[in-house]
Amino acid sequence: MPDSRIPKPNPVLTSAKAEQLTRHLFHYPADLVDTRRLMRNFQVSVAEVQQALDWLETHNPAPVDEIHG
């Protein structure tokens, strides 16, 4: 079920795998600490990770410091 709170990434700029990774990181930003595990679990390339990070940077509602305090 899609989460209506998350704006949909532009399909021209991102692959389906990068979109899955983006949605995961939107909900679990702390998982970015272990990027290699994410790359393995989502079977994404370095370029797809960068696409996800670029999208999150422009769509993140609050800086991480504000979220975690």
Query: Tens digits of per-residue pLDDT, 7-64?
Result: 665 555 568 888 888 889 888 988 888 999 999 999 999 999 999 888 888 886 665 5
Domain ranges of the chain: 16-68
Query: Tens digits of per-residue pLDDT, 12-27?
Result: 556 888 888 888 988 8
Cβ(24)–Cβ(38) below 8 Å? yes
Cite the beta strand spans of the chain per DSSP E.
none
In whole angstroms, give the CA distance from residue 23 to residue 40. 16
pTM: 0.57
